[in-house]
Protein backbone atom coordinates (compact mmCIF):
# COMPACT_ATOMS: atom_id res chain seq x y z
CA UNK A 1 0.00 0.00 0.00
CA UNK A 2 1.26 3.48 -0.86
CA UNK A 3 2.14 5.69 2.10
CA UNK A 4 -0.77 8.13 2.45
CA UNK A 5 1.66 10.92 3.26
CA UNK A 6 3.39 10.30 -0.08
CA UNK A 7 0.00 10.39 -1.77
CA UNK A 8 -0.69 13.76 -0.15
CA UNK A 9 2.71 15.00 -1.34
CA UNK A 10 1.81 14.01 -4.91
CA UNK A 11 -1.44 16.00 -4.68
CA UNK A 12 0.53 19.02 -3.48
CA UNK A 13 2.85 18.58 -6.47
CA UNK A 14 -0.12 18.55 -8.85
CA UNK A 15 -1.67 21.57 -7.13
CA UNK A 16 1.59 23.52 -7.48
CA UNK A 17 1.68 22.75 -11.20
CA UNK A 18 -1.99 23.67 -11.66
CA UNK A 19 -2.32 27.03 -9.92
CA UNK A 20 -4.90 28.15 -12.51
CA UNK A 21 -7.05 25.00 -12.17
CA UNK A 22 -6.67 23.77 -15.72
CA UNK A 23 -7.27 20.17 -14.62
CA UNK A 24 -10.91 19.15 -15.09
CA UNK A 25 -12.85 19.60 -11.85
CA UNK A 26 -9.97 21.24 -9.97
CA UNK A 27 -11.81 24.55 -9.70
CA UNK A 28 -14.42 22.64 -7.69
CA UNK A 29 -12.21 20.93 -5.09
CA UNK A 30 -9.21 23.30 -5.40
CA UNK A 31 -6.92 20.46 -4.23
CA UNK A 32 -8.27 20.77 -0.69
CA UNK A 33 -9.40 17.95 1.60
CA UNK A 34 -12.19 17.72 4.14
CA UNK A 35 -11.20 16.95 7.73
CA UNK A 36 -10.24 13.31 8.38
CA UNK A 37 -12.77 10.98 10.01
CA UNK A 38 -12.22 9.60 13.50
CA UNK A 39 -11.52 5.87 13.79
CA UNK A 40 -14.52 5.37 16.06
CA UNK A 41 -16.90 6.79 13.44
CA UNK A 42 -15.66 4.43 10.73
CA UNK A 43 -15.61 1.44 13.09
CA UNK A 44 -19.19 2.13 14.13
CA UNK A 45 -20.39 2.24 10.49
CA UNK A 46 -18.48 -0.93 9.63
CA UNK A 47 -19.90 -2.74 12.63
CA UNK A 48 -23.45 -1.57 12.02
CA UNK A 49 -23.53 -2.59 8.35
CA UNK A 50 -21.18 -5.60 8.25
CA UNK A 51 -18.33 -4.45 6.03
CA UNK A 52 -14.77 -3.17 6.32
CA UNK A 53 -13.33 -0.40 4.18
CA UNK A 54 -10.39 -1.45 1.99
CA UNK A 55 -7.22 -0.67 3.93
CA UNK A 56 -5.87 1.97 1.54
CA UNK A 57 -9.10 3.99 1.50
CA UNK A 58 -9.48 3.57 5.25
CA UNK A 59 -6.01 5.08 5.75
CA UNK A 60 -6.92 7.89 3.35
CA UNK A 61 -10.07 9.01 5.18
CA UNK A 62 -8.44 8.62 8.60
CA UNK A 63 -5.22 10.44 7.73
CA UNK A 64 -5.46 12.57 4.57
CA UNK A 65 -9.09 13.64 4.55
CA UNK A 66 -12.66 12.48 4.17
CA UNK A 67 -13.01 13.43 0.55
CA UNK A 68 -11.96 16.49 -1.38
CA UNK A 69 -9.17 16.62 -3.96
CA UNK A 70 -9.37 13.82 -6.48
CA UNK A 71 -10.43 12.83 -9.99
CA UNK A 72 -12.99 15.06 -11.73
CA UNK A 73 -15.08 16.84 -9.08
CA UNK A 74 -13.16 15.21 -6.24
CA UNK A 75 -13.64 12.35 -3.82
CA UNK A 76 -17.09 12.32 -2.22
CA UNK A 77 -16.95 12.38 1.60
CA UNK A 78 -17.67 8.93 3.01
CA UNK A 79 -21.05 9.08 4.76
CA UNK A 80 -20.87 12.84 4.48
CA UNK A 81 -24.40 13.49 3.16
CA UNK A 82 -23.10 14.75 -0.18
CA UNK A 83 -25.84 15.39 -2.76
CA UNK A 84 -23.95 13.24 -5.30
CA UNK A 85 -23.64 10.27 -2.93
CA UNK A 86 -26.14 7.58 -3.97
CA UNK A 87 -24.62 4.92 -1.72
CA UNK A 88 -27.01 2.51 0.00
CA UNK A 89 -25.06 2.48 3.26
CA UNK A 90 -27.35 -0.07 4.90
CA UNK A 91 -26.41 -2.60 2.21
CA UNK A 92 -22.64 -2.11 2.14
CA UNK A 93 -22.25 -5.52 3.79
CA UNK A 94 -24.04 -7.20 0.85
CA UNK A 95 -21.52 -8.66 -1.59
CA UNK A 96 -20.96 -6.82 -4.88
CA UNK A 97 -22.60 -8.98 -7.53
CA UNK A 98 -20.32 -8.62 -10.51
CA UNK A 99 -16.97 -10.14 -11.44
CA UNK A 100 -16.87 -8.55 -14.89
CA UNK A 101 -18.57 -5.73 -16.77
CA UNK A 102 -22.34 -5.82 -16.43
CA UNK A 103 -24.67 -4.11 -18.87
CA UNK A 104 -28.12 -5.68 -19.40
CA UNK A 105 -28.80 -3.36 -22.32
CA UNK A 106 -31.30 -5.81 -23.81
CA UNK A 107 -33.74 -4.52 -21.19
CA UNK A 108 -33.74 -1.17 -22.98
CA UNK A 109 -34.76 -2.56 -26.37
CA UNK A 110 -38.29 -2.08 -27.67
CA UNK A 111 -40.31 -4.19 -30.08
CA UNK A 112 -43.26 -3.85 -32.40
CA UNK A 113 -45.60 -3.64 -29.40
CA UNK A 114 -43.82 -0.62 -27.96
CA UNK A 115 -46.46 1.77 -26.68
CA UNK A 116 -44.25 4.87 -26.53
CA UNK A 117 -42.94 6.89 -23.61
CA UNK A 118 -44.55 4.79 -20.87
CA UNK A 119 -42.93 1.61 -22.15
CA UNK A 120 -39.58 3.37 -22.53
CA UNK A 121 -39.72 4.61 -18.94
CA UNK A 122 -40.61 1.11 -17.70
CA UNK A 123 -37.68 -0.37 -19.62
CA UNK A 124 -35.34 2.25 -18.19
CA UNK A 125 -36.50 1.48 -14.64
CA UNK A 126 -36.00 -2.25 -15.25
CA UNK A 127 -32.50 -1.59 -16.57
CA UNK A 128 -31.50 0.47 -13.53
CA UNK A 129 -32.97 -2.13 -11.18
CA UNK A 130 -30.83 -4.78 -12.88
CA UNK A 131 -27.65 -2.79 -12.21
CA UNK A 132 -27.32 -2.96 -8.44
CA UNK A 133 -24.54 -1.08 -6.65
CA UNK A 134 -24.94 -2.81 -3.27
CA UNK A 135 -21.63 -3.63 -1.60
CA UNK A 136 -19.98 -0.50 -2.99
CA UNK A 137 -20.04 3.21 -2.25
CA UNK A 138 -19.73 6.20 -4.55
CA UNK A 139 -16.23 7.68 -4.78
CA UNK A 140 -16.75 10.58 -7.18
CA UNK A 141 -18.78 11.90 -10.06
CA UNK A 142 -17.37 12.93 -13.41
CA UNK A 143 -20.29 14.98 -14.74
CA UNK A 144 -23.21 13.92 -16.93
CA UNK A 145 -24.18 11.30 -14.28
CA UNK A 146 -20.93 9.32 -14.76
CA UNK A 147 -19.62 8.02 -11.44
CA UNK A 148 -16.96 5.82 -9.87
CA UNK A 149 -17.49 3.44 -6.95
CA UNK A 150 -15.29 1.49 -4.52
CA UNK A 151 -16.31 -2.10 -3.77
CA UNK A 152 -16.22 -2.96 -0.06
CA UNK A 153 -17.88 -6.41 0.08
CA UNK A 154 -17.46 -9.60 -1.92
CA UNK A 155 -14.64 -11.02 -4.09
CA UNK A 156 -14.07 -7.68 -5.86
CA UNK A 157 -13.53 -5.84 -2.55
CA UNK A 158 -10.99 -3.06 -3.00
CA UNK A 159 -11.62 -2.53 -6.73
CA UNK A 160 -12.81 0.73 -8.27
CA UNK A 161 -15.69 0.39 -10.76
CA UNK A 162 -17.38 2.85 -13.10
CA UNK A 163 -21.12 3.39 -12.97
CA UNK A 164 -22.36 4.45 -16.40
CA UNK A 165 -25.91 3.21 -15.98
CA UNK A 166 -27.28 6.72 -16.46
CA UNK A 167 -25.72 6.60 -19.93
CA UNK A 168 -26.89 3.04 -20.66
CA UNK A 169 -23.32 1.70 -20.49
CA UNK A 170 -23.63 -0.36 -17.31
CA UNK A 171 -21.07 -1.11 -14.62
CA UNK A 172 -17.46 -2.03 -15.38
CA UNK A 173 -14.12 -2.17 -13.54
CA UNK A 174 -11.61 0.67 -13.76
CA UNK A 175 -8.36 -0.55 -15.29
CA UNK A 176 -4.87 0.78 -15.92
CA UNK A 177 -3.41 1.30 -19.40
CA UNK A 178 -1.97 -2.22 -19.06
CA UNK A 179 -5.39 -3.65 -18.19
CA UNK A 180 -4.83 -4.19 -14.46
CA UNK A 181 -7.80 -3.52 -12.21
CA UNK A 182 -7.44 -0.41 -10.08
CA UNK A 183 -7.68 -0.11 -6.31
CA UNK A 184 -8.39 3.20 -4.62
CA UNK A 185 -4.67 4.01 -4.41
CA UNK A 186 -3.80 3.02 -7.98
CA UNK A 187 -6.91 4.80 -9.29
CA UNK A 188 -5.98 7.94 -7.38
CA UNK A 189 -2.32 7.87 -8.44
CA UNK A 190 -3.36 7.21 -12.04
CA UNK A 191 -5.34 10.46 -11.89
CA UNK A 192 -2.34 12.38 -10.57
CA UNK A 193 0.08 10.90 -13.11
CA UNK A 194 -2.31 11.48 -16.02
CA UNK A 195 -2.91 15.12 -15.11
CA UNK A 196 0.77 15.84 -14.46
CA UNK A 197 1.59 14.45 -17.90
CA UNK A 198 -1.00 16.76 -19.47
CA UNK A 199 0.49 19.76 -17.68
CA UNK A 200 4.08 18.97 -18.68
pLDDT score recorded for residue 200? 87
How many CB atoms neighbour CB 111 within 10 A? 6
pLDDT (tens digit per residue) in 12-36: 999 999 999 999 999 999 999 999 9
Taking 70 as the threshold, does the pLDDT of residue 113 lie above it? no
pLDDT score recorded for residue 4? 82
> To the nearest 5 percent, what fractions of the chain are helix, strand and coil?
40, 15, 45
Taking 70 as the threshold, does the pLDDT of residue 120 lie above it? yes
pLDDT (tens digit per residue) in 52-70: 999 999 999 999 999 999 9
Residues 6+ apart with CB under 8 A from 102: 131, 170, 171, 172
Amino acid sequence: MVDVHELRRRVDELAARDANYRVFGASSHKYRFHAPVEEAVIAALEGAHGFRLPEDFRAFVLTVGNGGAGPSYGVIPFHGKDSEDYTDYKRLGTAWKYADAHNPEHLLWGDEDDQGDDDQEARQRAYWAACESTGAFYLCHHGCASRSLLVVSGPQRGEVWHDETANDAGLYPAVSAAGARLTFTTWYLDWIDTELAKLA
